[in-house]
Structure formats: C-alpha cells, structure tokens
Structure 1
C-alpha cells in the first residue's frame, strides 16, 4: 500500500490487477485501485479536482484531469475518511500512477494541493 500525508490529509492506495477485464493479446490490461482519503486535520476539507499522471511501461504518459472523483466532490470532516474505487487501463502489464487532489479548506476557503502517492500497477505474472 502506498501512503502519503500532505497538509493533514492522508491518501492511501491499494491496487488489484483485473484479469477478467484484461485482454493481453490486444494490449489491454485493467487495474482497479482503492483510495482512502483521511482528514487528520482540525477543519473540514472538500475534494474539488483530481490530476493524474499515468505512466505505462511501454513509454507512454498520459494525464487525466477533472472535477471530483467518481462523480463526487466529497466533504471530509476532521477524523473522517472517504473511500472510493476506480480503475485504469494500460497497454502493457506494468505502469505507475500518481498525482494530486485540489482541496478546499472550508474554515477559510483556501485551496491547497494534496499529493497522491505514486503507486505501481503490475500484473501478477510479472512478479514471478
């Protein structure tokens, strides 16, 4: 599990290769990831935007940017957490993802960036 804390917000990531949704013969490898965002601070925060950097072991890089996560812009109270599951497809059986969330601190309306730790996407057969 990859974990990182930025400005009182802890982001943890777990990944799973999904062979049932993958088609290696057509260079399609599907991964799911579970993100847990914990508010360790004293004030409510809202996740407004995401910005991903996705690297494939074949040398390609792509960026994904947009509002919220899986259609939500959750408000996370102090001591609470928000969890969601999403997915990523690669053209090879290995890659990495990482990025940032743009958050709003509800106390004073300030915006700040929270790092999403870089994590590996690796099909299990690559580990043997």
Structure 2
C-alpha cells in the first residue's frame, strides 16, 4: 500500500497523508463494484495535543455522483495526538464506477478547546494501469 507517493495537506500544524490502493480481490467489475483501501497518517506538528473528534468526507464517482459522509471520530476512535506524534488508520471505499475521488476534513480540538478543521487532501481512486487523475 506504500508504493506510491502520498497525497498531503497541512492545516494549522496538522499534516494529513493519504495513500489509496485498489483492492482487486474485493472488487467485482462485472457486478459494478470497485473497492479501494486508504491508509491515513495524521501528524501533529504543533506544540500542544490535539484530538480528532469528527470526520467529513466528500466522495465523487466517475459519473459525478457525490456522497457525503459525516461521523464521530475515525474507525470508532477519537484519538488524542501529542505534539510530534502521529496517528494512523486504514479504511475503505466502494464505488460503482472504476474511478473516483475523495476529499474531506477532520474536526479537531486543541489543548485550549478550540475547534478547527484539518484538511484531508483530495485523492484519486483509480484502478491500476490507469492514469492518476482527480475527477
């Protein structure tokens, strides 16, 4: 999953890196189902602890259909990330088209209780051997 360069965004000292990968074994193109995994690393470049409290994803398929996903934390957790530390997790996304894109934001709180949005970089979901593009 780490053979490609990550998509990267930095907001207010929060660095978000995403590496998507196509899951051929879970996909069924004949049935109109393509599945990707994505590995996320969130790095706290700041001087105080931060907590990821919520997520907001915008998922767009190759037909331009948009689905928004909002929820508390990630993978059932609301991690606290100390200064200089990172938090990583993996998740997945099925589509009904062979390509698409994702972008979003994490709602974070800092040590003073201030809430801010940390950008998740836009990243492309493409099957292997296809040109890497943001739809």
What's the TM-score, normalizing by structure 1? 0.96
Once residues 125 and 46 of structure 1 are traced to their aligned partners in structure 2, the CA distance between those partners, rounded to angstroms, is 38
Deviations, residues 44-90 of structure 1 (Å, cap 9, x unaligned) = 00000000000000221100000000000000000000000000001
| Structure showing the higher strand proportion among its residues | 1
Once residues 129 and 105 of structure 2 are traced to their aligned partners in structure 1, the CA distance between those partners, rounded to angstroms, is 30
Q: Does 1:121 align with 2:125?
A: yes
* Structure 2, unpaired ranges of 5+: 1-5
Aligned to 1:36: 41
Q: Which runs of 4+ in 1 moved over 2 A?
A: none
Paired residues, number: 126
* Structure 1, unpaired ranges of 5+: none
User: What secondary structure is seen at the aligned counterpart in 2 of 1:25?
Assistant: helix
Aligned to 1:27: 32
Given that 1:93 and 1:126 are in contact with CA atoms closer than 8 Å, whether structure 2 keeps it comes out as: no
Alpha-carbon RMSD across the aligned residues, in angstroms, is: 0.7
Deviations, residues 106-125 of structure 1 (Å, cap 9, x unaligned) = 2x110000000000000014
Q: 2:116 aligned to 94, 108, 112, which one?
A: 112
Shift of 1:98: 0.5
